[in-house]
A and B are shown apart, each in its own frame.
Chain A
Amino acid sequence: TQLLEQSPQFLSIQEGENLTVYCNSSSVFSSLQWYRQEPGEGPVLLVTVVTGGEVKKLKRLTFQFGDARKDSSLHITAAQPGDTGLYLCAGLRQGGKLIFGQGTELSVKP
C-alpha cells in the first residue's frame, strides 16, 4: 500500500511553462519534505513543511502543505531546463522514518 500518492509520475514540458506536482495521502504527517534527485545521486532536500496550510517559496518553487497535513503540492513557475530531475515528496512518520511518494520525473525542454 502506497501511503503517499504522487502525481503526475512523468511530466515533459517546454521551458517557460508552469507546473504543479501533487502529493496526497489518507494519513496525517507531522511534516512533509520535498526532495530533488538527479541520476546517480542522492536526493537533495528542497523544503520541509510542518504547519497545516503553510506555504513556502524557494525562488520559482512554491510549496504548500494542506490544512489537514495530509497533502502537499509543489508549483514551479517558468520552468527551466535546469529544473529537470526526479522530484520526491516524503512524509515523516513515527521514529523519524520517511515514507516516499512514487516520484515525479520532470523533463523541461529548451
Chain B
Amino acid sequence: GAVVSQHPSWVICKSGTSVKIECRSLDFQATTMFWYRQFPKQSLMLMATSNEGSKATYEQGVEKDKFLINHASLTLSTLTVTSAHPEDSSFYICSARNLGTSGYNEQFFGPGTRLTVL
C-alpha cells in the first residue's frame, strides 16, 4: 500500500521560533499533498494544498506567511510554522494523493506531527 511518513512525530519549541515538518510519500510519487490541522477531539481541517513545483493554495483563514509550504519534489512537501505561538500547538497531518488502481483519487495520510509551543 501507499505509505506516507512525517518527521518529526512530535516537537516542542519556544514561542517565537520556527518549526519545519516534513511529509514524504515513500513508495509513490505525489504531485499533490495536503496539510491538515487537528485540535483535540476535533476533526481534520484542511489548511492548504501543496502542488509540486508551484505555489501552495491556502484555505480561507490560513495565513500563508505563517505557514510556509514547499513542495520541492514529487515525494516531499514541507510545512514551516514561522514565529510559532502557543495557539499554533496542534496535531499537523499531511496526506499525499495517489491515483489508485480503481481509477479515482485516494489520499493517504501521514502519522501526524504533534507540535507544542511553550
B109 touches A105 (CB 8 A): no
Whether A82 sits at the interface, judged by CB under 8 Å, is: no
How far is B34's CA from A98's CA once the two chains are assembled, in angstroms?
9
A97 touches B104 (CB 8 A): no
Q: How far is the CB of B105 from chain A (nearest CB, A)?
A: 5
Chain A positions 66-110 with a Cβ under 8 Å from a chain B Cβ: 88, 90, 92, 95-103, 105
Interface bin, chain B: 20 to 34
Q: How far is the CB of B29 from chain A (nearest CB, A)?
A: 15
Q: How far is the CB of A100 from chain B (nearest CB, A)?
A: 5
Q: How far is the CB of A43 from chain B (nearest CB, A)?
A: 5
B residues near A97, Cβ cutoff 8 Å: 34, 46, 49
User: Which stretch, B36-44, B67-75, B80-88, touches the partner chain A?
Assistant: B36-44
Residues of B within 8 A of A (CB): 4, 6, 32, 34, 41-46, 49, 57, 91, 93, 95, 97, 102, 104-112, 114
Residues of A within 8 A of B (CB): 6, 30-31, 33, 35, 40-45, 48, 50, 88, 90, 92, 95-103, 105
- Known A-B contacts: A6-B43, A30-B104, A90-B44. Give 14 more (CB < 8 A): A31-B104, A35-B109, A41-B112, A42-B6, A42-B93, A44-B109, A45-B109, A96-B49, A96-B107, A99-B46, A100-B45, A102-B43, A103-B42, A103-B43
- A sample of 12 cross-chain residue pairs with beta-carbon separation below 8 angstroms, ordered by A number, consists of A30-B104, A40-B112, A42-B93, A42-B95, A45-B108, A45-B109, A48-B104, A88-B43, A96-B105, A97-B34, A98-B46, A100-B46
